[in-house]
Chains A and B, each alone.
Chain A
Amino acid sequence: MTVTAEDLRGQVERFLAAHDPKTTDRLEFLRARFDAGLAWVLFPEGLGGQGAPRALQPGVDAAFAAAGAPDNDPRRIGIGLGMAAPTILAFGTPEQRQRYLRPLWTGEEVWCQLFSEPGAGSDLAALATRAVRDGDDWVVTGQKVWTSGAHNAQWAILVTRTDPDVPKHQGMTYFLCDMTAPGVEVRPLRQITGEAEFNEVFLTGVRIPDSQRLGAVGEGWKVAQTTLMNERVAIGGNAVPREGGLIGLVAKTWRDRPELRTPELRDRLVQHWVESEALRLAGSRLRQQLAVGAPGPEGSAMKVAFSELNQKLTGLEIELLGEEGLRYDDWTERRPEKVDFLGREAGYRYLRAKGNSIEGGTSEVLRNIIAERVLGLPSEPRVDKDVAWKDLPR
């Protein structure tokens, strides 16, 4: 029997009656919400959900928010929620699901994503980090780069090469890596905004028990695909109210500061307002579609559009500010706890938005995906398909 919106409304009411958000300890509240199956309602029973349609999630979140319930801070734990969780759900053993999903959802354990390497970004399947079997463990050595939030993470999703002698897509294996394990070294990597939001991560003889392998040996690419599909939806597909996100910030400046207005800027602002609204609706539509299936390549389209709109809006915001746009808030190298596209001031937002079209798959690669997988256009001639990884030109 499928769960309905009404069932959930009743459950949330009863939950709130039993756990007064004002008096209940934050963590206790979140754990109880998970245990009641009201965390991510589409997940199976016992894992924070109850197999409800995905489309019912926003209603549940809104009801909790309206009651002043503590939130589990998705900006801080976004990689865990958006990427690690659906992958663990899809490929994890029952033990792995039991072990990782609850602290992930409550934010007790923060996750990062150890995918990209200096030589393997768009071409993730070219990665060189080696994992070699040693008894019940794997021994991992290599370097990752641009790892967002690694400095705050207890766990990582990690893709490695376990067989260099087969074509690149076949020789990869996926792991859950303890970031506190010996041999894991996280070094800040400063970015354009002045902050060190991402990192370089050096893995030197890190021992990972085989029980932390996700999916079969050699099937890492398949597992990673699930992560990547979800990543695109997570970055571009958030549920936002009208004027949520960047458009709201710029519109507010417009309303508050009549002296900045010109007809030309107004035309552009209204144009972006329309684009924001259309994108918001496309996001809602995508989520409704997802309720009946897994994320498909539509997520790529959302992410491309979201990145471009963010970049146009933040660029406009600086032009709108004129003299103030020549200033910046603070160049100090900080290590922020959250990834925040909307944070700080206009200059920061403009610079940070440049990353939107690179992180989680570049717009170019996503367009290739749309062209080939959605539109069915012939793919580029591949020189790397049937060549053993170790023999690839680089």
Chain B
Amino acid sequence: MSELARELPTPDLLYSEVEEDLRSSVRDLLTDRVTPAALLARAETAEPYDLKLWKTLAADLGTAGLMVPEELGGHGATTREAAVVLEELGRSVAPVPFLGSAVLATTALLGADSADPVIAELLPRLAGGELTGALAVPLSTAPGAEFPATVTVNADGTLSGRVGTVADASVAELLVVPATGPDGPGLYAVEATAATVTELVSLDLTRRVADVVLENAPARRFTSGEQAVAALDNALTTAAGLLASEQTGLTEWALTTTVTYLKGRYQFGRPVGGFQSLKHRLANLYTDLVNARATARYAADALAGGFDVPIAVAVAQARVAPIAVHAVEEAIQLHGGIGMTWEHPAHLYLKRAKSDELAFGTPGRHRSRLAGLVDLPA
């Protein structure tokens, strides 16, 4: 046993009763409000996000503030609970900015000094679901990446620069912007109205990416130097680790939907799910799901407990991202022609799973990071 392994605390990989309660209230809401037909109808309108649903989820169910301490207006829960919400959001590909706002922007703020006036003002509003935020980095940015240099701080303290493919930015009111100035790196709060935010044509129809352009945009710095670098990295690490739960949700959807379909689809005079070659494929997907869930739960628990985080997150993204893509690809294949149609929701899941695979670094990138972390040099 390696040095590292001996010191690990025993993780809690199950769901608590509180977590199950949270899951069922989120699931009830999503089952009610997110139907495939509604998703598709919305996808091509000017309002691809369901902001009414987001209000209910963020404010009424309190999911936006799960990871925020009570004294800062949150619920004082942890990444474990946020992970459960993401599983459900993955199962329904709900078009809400939970990842951008409640995970990315919120954890970036949590990495700063809570006494800072910007944090004291903004964090409770984010946590209460009153304000929606986004973190102005490309969604593909991996933990461990260099502090971005695309936005610069001008002499008068305003910001200028451009950031592409920012998740959930088109519905954010608050942009959290990493920028570099004469005094080094810093994280800044920028009103979205002070920036030009242009939604791009996104591969993922239910989570949009946007271009953010800042031209002398007024900004308030809330952390700088080492602390800013650490806060940004923590936001990306947390998001990468929690994304594995969304990916687990996608995997679960793919499996259960396909099983149901194949039990009822007759060809050659029998349900196609009865052919052993397909049964084995579904059994493999189930095996993958078992792995995905444990891995994602471990990342969520490690993030909550502050142990083994880099390895837990790298393992989660290296393992779960490809599982989710494969599961949804299998779902499409096993649905046959119907799976290739626009009307069937499978494509929305494929687009999400593939985008998620790129988000916060591809599996290959996480594998090479992991190689360094566990001392397996090239």
Q: Please list the residues of chain A having a beta carbon within 8 angstroms of any beta carbon in chain B.
A: 116, 119-123, 126, 145-146, 189-192, 194, 262-265, 268, 311, 315, 318-319, 322-323, 325-331, 347, 350-351, 354-355, 357-359, 362-364, 367-368, 380, 382-384, 387, 392-394
Are B203 and A123 within 8 A (Cβ)?
A: no
Partner of A325, one of B272, B337, B358: B358
Excluding A325-B354, A384-B269, 8 further A-B contacts by CB distance (< 8 Å) are A191-B341, A263-B368, A268-B364, A325-B203, A328-B203, A347-B203, A368-B277, A380-B268
Q: Are A351 and B350 within 8 A (Cβ)? A: yes
Q: How far is the CA of A18 from the CA of B231 in the complex (A)?
A: 76
Which of A265, A328, A383 lies in contact with B202, CB distance below 8 A? A328
Q: Which residues of the partner chain B approach A359 to less than 8 Å between Cβ atoms? A: 337
B165 touches A364 (CB 8 A): no
Cα of A71 to Cα of B270 in the assembled complex, Å? 46
A393 touches B342 (CB 8 A): no
Chain A nearest CB from B330 CB (Å) reads: 11
Contact at B267–A122, with CB atoms within 8 Å?
Answer: yes
Known: A262-B365, A393-B270. Is A322-B333 also a contact (CB below 8 A)?
Answer: no
Residue B343 CB within 8 A of the other chain: yes
Given the known interface contacts A354-B332, A362-B336, the answer about A330 and B201 at a Cβ–Cβ threshold of 8 Å is yes
Cα A194 to Cα B60 with chains together (Å): 35
In whole angstroms, how far apart are the Cα atoms of A146 and B209 in the complex? 32
Chain A residues near B270 (CB-CB < 8 A): 383, 393
Residues of B within 8 A of A354 (CB): 329, 332-333, 339-340, 350
Determine whether B325 belongs to the interface, using a CB cutoff of 8 Å to chain A: yes
B170 at the interface (CB under 8 A from A): no
Complex contacts, A146 vs chain B, CB 8 Å: 337, 340
Query: Which residue of B164, B268, B275 has the most chain A CB atoms within 10 A of its CB atom?
Result: B268
| Choice from B140, B266, B336 contacting A326 with Cβ under 8 Å | B140
Closest 6 CB pairs of A and B: A384-B269, A190-B342, A123-B267, A264-B364, A192-B347, A146-B337
Interface assignment of B205: CB less than 8 Å from any CB of chain A:
yes
Q: Is B246 an interface residue (CB 8 A)?
A: no
A123 to B165, Cβ gap below 8 A?
no
Flag if B362 contacts A326 (CB, 8 Å): no
Q: Which of B266, B267, B277, B332 has the most CB of A within 10 A?
A: B267
Point out the residue from A123, A322, A383, A393 that lies within 8 Å of B362, measured CB to CB: A322
State in angstroms the CA–CA spacing of A265 and B358 once bound together: 13
Quote the shortest CB–CB distance from A371 to chain B (angstroms): 9
Q: Which of A122, A363, A367, A368 counts the most B-chain CB atoms under 10 A from its CB?
A: A122
Contact B267 A326 (CB under 8 A): no
The answer to whether A323 and B138 touch (CB under 8 A), given A264-B367, A383-B268, is: yes
Distance in angstroms between the alpha carbons of A350 and B332 in the assembled complex: 13
Query: How near does chain A come to B226, taking the closest CB pair, in angstroms?
Result: 27
Contacting residues, chain A, for B267 (C-beta < 8 A) = 120-123, 126
Tell me the smallest distance from the CB of B368 to a CB of chain A, in Å: 6
Supposing A191-B340, A350-B354, A362-B333 touch, asked if A123 and B364 sit within 8 A by C-beta, the answer is: no
Q: Does B168 contact A (CB under 8 A)?
A: no
Question: Which single member of B164, B266, B277 contacts A323 (CB below 8 Å)?
Answer: B164
CB pair A192 B350 closer than 8 Å = yes
Choose from A126, A194, A322, A331 the contact partner of B358 (Cβ within 8 Å).
A322
Query: From residue B320, how far is it (CB to closest CB) to chain A in Å?
Result: 15
